[in-house]
Structure 1
Amino acid sequence: MLFHTELIPESLPVPIRLTDRIVTIGSCFADVMGRQLTDHKLSVLNNPFGTVFNPVSIAKLLTMALRGTKPDESLYIERDGIWFHYDFHSSLWAHSQTELCERLTERLTQTADALRQADWLLLTLGTAVVYRHIQTGQVVANCHKTPGSQFEKYLYQIDHLRDDLVKVLKLLRRANPNLRILLTVSPVRHTSDTLPLNQASKSVLRVIAHELTVWNDWVQYFPSYEIMVDDLRDYRFYEADLIHPNALAQNYIFEKFAQSAFDHELRGFVTEWASIRKALAHRPLYGDTPGHRSFLNSLLKRLDTLRDLVDVEAERSVVLDQLVLSVPAQKGESLQTNSAE
């Protein structure tokens, strides 16, 4: 008997490899996926502009980065002695406009460099509802707690959204002909927009994502939104706010992502690394014992076998520190370390 409709995503025609370089851009779900990928030792530049929900702002930031243009001077804002920029998330701030300009310019340059070398861009679209700054007439990425009277809120027209994304994809392709795009629609519901408007917004994004994959064989789609609303479909998979997927849902979606997007070697590595992370988190019940030291030495050997694949020096240091602190229980016991130490 089945109690839910399981969604099994199709495998990507070109899978992600352990050695691939990835950039994530977009909504808070891009952060979640970026952290998951980083935790599994992939090379990731994770959401360098901070959380950006709407495709208009995403396209604008990517275009700025690749063309080397500086942030718009008219969109800086100062609040309580702190400077922000309407095109960027509030996590990017400074004590002066000059300092912020330098920081944002550096972030744009870093992102452009990463995109030109990346194998994948994971692009997560959050909402088609935008806020237009009335004074400048520009759509903003973040209102930075400015009074709502200074903005006009509306559902962006689908043709204009499509045009913005088509243009930026062409620009990305010119900058890096080997770059592949993986689109997702964020499963986070924007309930503050009302549920009907949220559904209209997600539908617009989903239609555009579908069209972009049909027109471009280097653009793929991963159904994180569909997994959340159709496969999981239960409030026990949400945080207390009933909006954001909880850790259980995030892990489930990532498992589906790994099955769909990773090649055979990377899937094997993910399984091994999950076991190692569990072992790293282990704490002995009875303190320092010969059995625990044997466990640590075995864990160290497992980490050593991965040194040619990924950077495990931080994890090795943790294990070595525990071994150094341990006191042999029997005469003649010795610390086992790699010959390279």
Structure 2
Amino acid sequence: MLFHTELTPDSLPVPIRLTDRIVTIGSCFADVMGRQLTDHKIQVLTNPFGTVFNPISIAKLLTMALRGTKPDESLYVERDGIWFHYDFHSSLWARSRAELCERLTERLATTADALRRADWLLLTLGTAVVYRHIQTGQVVANCHKVPGSQFEKYLYQIDHLRDELLKLFKLLRRANPKLQVLLTVSPVRHTRDTLPLNQVSKSTLRVISHELTIWNDWVHYFPSYEIMVDDLRDYRFYEADLIHPNTLAQNYIFEKFAQCAFDDELRGFVTEWASIRKALAHRPLYGDTSAHRAFLNSLLKRLDTLRDLVNVDAERAVVLEQLVLSAPVQKDESRQTNSAQ
């Protein structure tokens, strides 16, 4: 008897390898995927602009980075002595406009360099609903808690969304001909838009994603949204806010991702690394025994076998420190003899 419909995504025609470099951009699910990949020792630049939900802002930021243009001067905003920029997430802020400009310009340059060297761009689209700053007439990535009366909220027209992403993809292809793009629609529910509008928004993004994969053999799709709403399909897989997938759901989706996206070597490494991470978290039940020291030495050897593949210096340092702390205390026999006399 089946109690749910399991979704097993098709394997990507070009698998992700352990040595590949990845950039994630987009909604908060791009942060989740970035953290998961980083935890498994894959080289990732995770959401360098902070959370960006809509495709218009994503396209604008990546275009700005690749063309080397500076942030729009008309979109700086000051609130309570802190400076923000409407095109960037609120995690990017400064005490002065000049300081923020320098920080954002540096972040754009870093992202451009990463994109030109990357093997993969993981693009997570969150919503087709946008906020337009009325004074400048521009769509913004973040309102920074400025009064809502200064913005117009609406569903972006599907043809315009498609056009903006097509222009972005052409630019990406020119900047990095080897780049593979993996699209996904975020499984995070935008309930503030109302459930009906959230569904229209997600459907719009899904249609565009489908078309882009049909027209470009270097653009692929991973069904994180479909796994969440059809495979898992239960509120027990959400956080208490009933909006964000919980840790169990995130891990399940990542497992599905690894199955369809990773090559055999990377899948084998992920399995081995999961075992090593579990061993690193182990604490001895009976203190620093000889058995625990043998366990640590065995763990150190396992880490050493991976040194040619990934950087394990931090993990080795932890194990070596534990070995030092667990070393048996050597008794000074001559001092004991003198004391007895």
- Shorter-chain TM-score above 0.5: yes
Aligned residue for 1:44, secondary structure, equals strand
TM-score by length of 1: 0.96
Closer, same or farther: CA 3–330 of 1 in aligned 2, 3 Å: farther
Asked whether 1:270 is paired with 2:270, we answer yes
Alignment partner, residue 94 of structure 1: 94
Q: Deviations over 1:55-114 (max 9, x none)?
A: 000000000000000000000000010000000000000000000000000000000000
Q: Deviations over 1:119-146 (max 9, x none)?
A: 0000000000000000000000000000
**2-side partners of 1:224 and 1:92: how far apart?**
27
Asked whether 1:219 is paired with 2:214, we answer no
Q: Deviations over 1:133-168 (max 9, x none)?
A: 000000000000000000000000000000000000
Q: Deviations over 1:11-65 (max 9, x none)?
A: 0000000000000000000000000000000000000000000000000000000
**2-side partners of 1:224 and 1:40: how far apart?**
19
Alignment partner, residue 76 of structure 2: 76
Shift of the alpha carbon at 1:327? 2.7
Alignment partner, residue 198 of structure 2: 198
Aligned CA RMSD, in angstroms, stands at: 0.9
Alignment partner, residue 10 of structure 2: 10
Q: Aligned partner of 1:189: which letter?
A: R
Alignment partner, residue 173 of structure 2: 173
Alignment partner, residue 305 of structure 2: 305
Check conservation: 1:184, 1:223, Cα contact below 8 A: yes
Aligned residues: 331
Aligned residue for 2:124, secondary structure, equals strand
**2-side partners of 1:186 and 1:151: how far apart?**
24
Shift of the alpha carbon at 1:239? 0.4
Shift of the alpha carbon at 1:329? 7.5
Alignment partner, residue 130 of structure 1: 130
**1-side partners of 2:51 and 2:283: how far apart?**
35
**2-side partners of 1:204 and 1:327: how far apart?**
61
Check conservation: 1:130, 1:156, Cα contact below 8 A: yes
Q: Aligned partner of 1:291: which letter?
A: A
**1-side partners of 2:115 and 2:287: how far apart?**
47
Aligned residue for 1:50, secondary structure, equals coil
Identical columns (%): 88
Matches within 5 A, 1:228-267: 228-267=228-267
**2-side partners of 1:234 and 1:318: how far apart?**
39
Shift of the alpha carbon at 1:285? 1.2
Q: Aligned partner of 2:43: which letter?
A: S
Aligned residue for 1:308, secondary structure, equals coil
Shift of the alpha carbon at 1:330? 9.1
Alignment partner, residue 32 of structure 1: 32
**1-side partners of 2:187 and 2:210: how far apart?**
16
Alignment partner, residue 143 of structure 1: 143
Aligned residue for 1:18, secondary structure, equals coil
Check conservation: 1:53, 1:127, Cα contact below 8 A: yes
Alignment partner, residue 335 of structure 1: none
Segments of structure 2 that go 5 or more residues without pairing to the other structure are 332-341
Aligned residue for 1:78, secondary structure, equals strand
Shift of the alpha carbon at 1:258? 0.1
**1-side partners of 2:86 and 2:130: how far apart?**
12
Q: Deviations over 1:259-290 (max 9, x none)?
A: 00000000000000000000000111111111
**1-side partners of 2:41 and 2:312: how far apart?**
9
Asked whether 1:326 is paired with 2:326, we answer yes
**2-side partners of 1:89 and 1:287: how far apart?**
46
Q: Deviations over 1:162-213 (max 9, x none)?
A: 0000000000000000000000000000000000000000000000000000
Indicate the structure (1 or 2) with the bigger Cα radius of gyration.
2
Check conservation: 1:289, 1:329, Cα contact below 8 A: no
**2-side partners of 1:219 and 1:51: how far apart?**
22
Alignment partner, residue 46 of structure 2: 46
TM-score by length of 2: 0.96
Aligned residue for 1:184, secondary structure, equals strand
**2-side partners of 1:242 and 1:288: how far apart?**
44
Aligned residue for 2:130, secondary structure, equals strand
After TM superposition, the runs of 4+ consecutive aligned structure 1 residues lying more than 2 A away are: 327-331
**1-side partners of 2:150 and 2:286: how far apart?**
62
Closer, same or farther: CA 134–2 of 1 in aligned 2, 3 Å: same
Q: Aligned partner of 1:114: which letter?
A: A
**1-side partners of 2:252 and 2:99: how far apart?**
41
